[in-house]
Chain A
């Protein structure tokens, strides 16, 4: 993350650019939902757009594009456990197979 005034001014321009892109992606998300895709397709499209938007917020607003290794390490560990957490419901499928 920068502290030099010239770099901060440059960052301000990227904040505005990301703001406009987030607005555009929000409109695209709502527009895509009007197409009434099949449920798996609709979920995929919506989550891809949400992930893109989330990456922009994390990367630019939260300065993750220029962070220290300690933060990347903590987040990587979090990501691993987050994915495990999201897949825990899949274990219920094993229950159905068993009975």
Chain B
């Protein structure tokens, strides 16, 4: 059975189904991260003291720059497909994958340092919410990398059989990836600077 409206837009929504689907998924993600941000506010307002300067601002800033850069390469990977430039698409998508990996390596060093100092989630409320928020965000990075790896590997052959659907799939991947970037844009000041 063929899934309808993977390329052409549905008459009622004006969108292909994948796009509406990813936006509804992202809406649920807003509520997931929203619940955790709400938890952060509750913990912070209720705390007598809130630690400041526990995290490395330069490392957090580098990771912000890396994720913003990866958002640009992601959108360029989609734009390259629309311009029929397969080589550039591969370059940009690979670049996004590599930047995501660098982000995780930085996070690994950051986590290792804190855990080495005994500053795990059990240490205090700040580290509990820090590991919860950044851990969940990190899992989203891993999820995005799995999808990108698929489109760099076995999923890439769809470009030859159905290029429009492939471009739509990359667009959907990009929407997810920009959302992951957007969450970090709020996590960075909330956890590292305030």
Interface residue ranges, A against B (CB under 8 Å)? 3, 5, 8-9, 11-12, 15-16, 19, 22-23, 26, 29-30, 33, 39, 42-43, 46-47, 49-50, 53-54, 57-58, 61-62, 68-71, 74-75, 77-78, 81-82, 85-86, 88-89, 92
CB <8 Å contact, A57 and B181? yes
In the complex, A71→B179 CA distance in Å?
A: 15
Question: B41-49, B95-103, B133-141: which lies at the A interface?
Answer: B41-49
CB <8 Å contact, B13 and A8? no
List A contacts of B182 (CB < 8 A).
54, 57-58
B72 within 8 Å of A by Cβ? yes
In the complex, A95→B45 CA distance in Å?
A: 14
In the complex, A82→B27 CA distance in Å?
A: 9
CB <8 Å contact, B69 and A89? no
Using A33-B189, A46-B189, A71-B20 as known contacts, say yes or no to A19 and B72 having CB atoms under 8 A apart: yes
CB <8 Å contact, B178 and A70? no
B24 within 8 Å of A by Cβ? yes
B23 within 8 Å of A by Cβ? yes
CB <8 Å contact, B65 and A23? yes
CB <8 Å contact, A75 and B41? no
Q: Which single residue of chain B is at the shortest CB-CB distance from A47?
A: B189
Interface residues on B, range: 35 or more
With a 10 A CB-CB cut-off, give which of B27, B79, B185 has the most chain A CB atoms: B185
List A contacts of B30 (CB < 8 A).
78, 82
Using A71-B23, A78-B27 as known contacts, say yes or no to A49 and B189 having CB atoms under 8 A apart: yes
CB <8 Å contact, A15 and B75? yes
In the complex, A86→B34 CA distance in Å?
A: 7
Q: Which single residue of chain B is at the shortest CB-CB distance from A19?
A: B72
